[in-house]
Amino acid sequence: MNITPEALFEARRHFLKLGAGALVSSTAISQLLAELPKDLSLSYTPDTNPLKLTSNTFEQITNYVNFYEFSTDKEAPVKLSQKMKTSPWNVGFFGEIKTEQMLEVDDLIAKFGLEERIYRFRCVEGWSMVVPWIGFPLYKLLDYLEPNSKAKYVKFTTRHDPSMFPDQAKGIFSSIKHPYVEGLRMDEARHPLTFIAVGMYGKRLLPQNGAPIRLVVPWKYGFKSIKSLDLIECVQSEPLNTWQEQNPKEYGFYANVNPAVDHPRWTQAKERLLGKLIKQATLSFNGYDKEVAHLYAGMDLRKFF
């Protein structure tokens, strides 16, 4: 089940030989994915796709990313991440839970099984995409960990390894403070839409997309969906997330997609779906209003942004 740098390099070469880009047909992508090394494939239950969402291309999703541990450039992580060692990868589970422990990603997959979730993804910078993630709901993991009554939040921390992540190696000159930290209220974490992803398009996550394991919260701006998880802790107090610490006037704890509340530098009323020229209207809670709006009943969403 290892993801070797050679395999990833060969996969990318296949795309380049096809001249892949925004205009690659779905047929070509399916053929290409079938040719990828077998050890990248995952067994999962397909999404019924009730919202009839059309996924972006594999090439778009894997070549336009924010991964500051590598670079602030959207495309540089593709090249910079190819030497990343993603297996074996242990994740630590600590805090207010029944038994603190470490588990390897493959053990998590075996324990909880895999399913597909085709979700909208909305970046606070004003671009969006649709991603066919593969993983398992976070509540299954929390049920297994058995948080106690003191656990009010879940804190997530990315892997801190300056030998692997170039920006972390810059120390005080890094673009942001490392390691990257995010958090959810316990009821947000236990919501059925909140997902732990280990793959996309039926294959293991590529390094630039947060391999080998990451969080996906589809109704929040993308920066909440922390990549390359190292620690998951159930805690008593609201965690200070990385961007909130970086600039509290621009980033709050909740980061729910809200077209009525603009970011100081980017309008949130509209978004550009990758591969499209014309912007489209942004939906409240990224289109998941019916499922999650009740979590924030009575809250002033301009104050709790």
Q: How far apart are CA 240 and CA 255, in angstroms?
A: 13
**SS3 letters across 121-181:** EECCCCEEEEEEEEEEEHHHHHHHHCECCCCCEEEEEECCCCCCCCCHHHHHHCCCCCCCE
Cα–Cα separations (whole angstroms), residue 188 to 20, 62, 92, 107, 184: 37, 27, 20, 25, 6
Reported as a single tens digit per residue, the pLDDT across 200-223 is: 999 999 999 999 999 999 999 999
Reported as a single tens digit per residue, the pLDDT across 75-111 is: 999 999 988 999 999 999 999 999 999 999 999 999 9
Reported as a single tens digit per residue, the pLDDT across 10-49 is: 444 444 443 344 444 444 544 555 455 545 789 999 999 9
The beta strands (E) that lie in the chain are given as: 90-95, 101-104, 115-122, 127-137, 153-158, 181-185, 195-200, 203-204, 214-216, 229-235, 270-273, 280-281
Of 105, 246, 118, the C-alpha closest to 182 is: 246
Q: Average pLDDT, whole number, for the chain?
A: 90
Q: How far apart are CA 66 and CA 72, in angstroms?
A: 7
Q: How far apart are CA 44 and CA 39, in angstroms?
A: 14
Phi then psi for 53, rounded to 5 degrees?
-80, 145
pLDDT at position 31 is 52
Q: Compute the 3-state secondary structure of the chain and give helix, strand, coil in percent, each to the nearest 5.
A: 30, 25, 50
Q: Is 26 exposed, middle or buried (0-12, 13-18, 19+ CB in 10 A)?
A: exposed
Q: What is the pTM of this model?
A: 0.87
Q: What is the mean pLDDT of residues 113-132?
A: 98
8 has pLDDT over 80: no
Reported as a single tens digit per residue, the pLDDT across 247-296 is: 999 999 999 999 999 999 999 999 999 999 999 999 999 999 999 999 99
Residue whose pair of structure tokens reads 């495309």 in the numeric block: 75
pLDDT at position 37 is 54
pLDDT at position 90 is 98
Of the two residues 299 and 24, the one the predictor is more confident about is 299
Reported as a single tens digit per residue, the pLDDT across 168-197 is: 999 999 999 999 999 999 999 999 999 999
149 has pLDDT over 50: yes
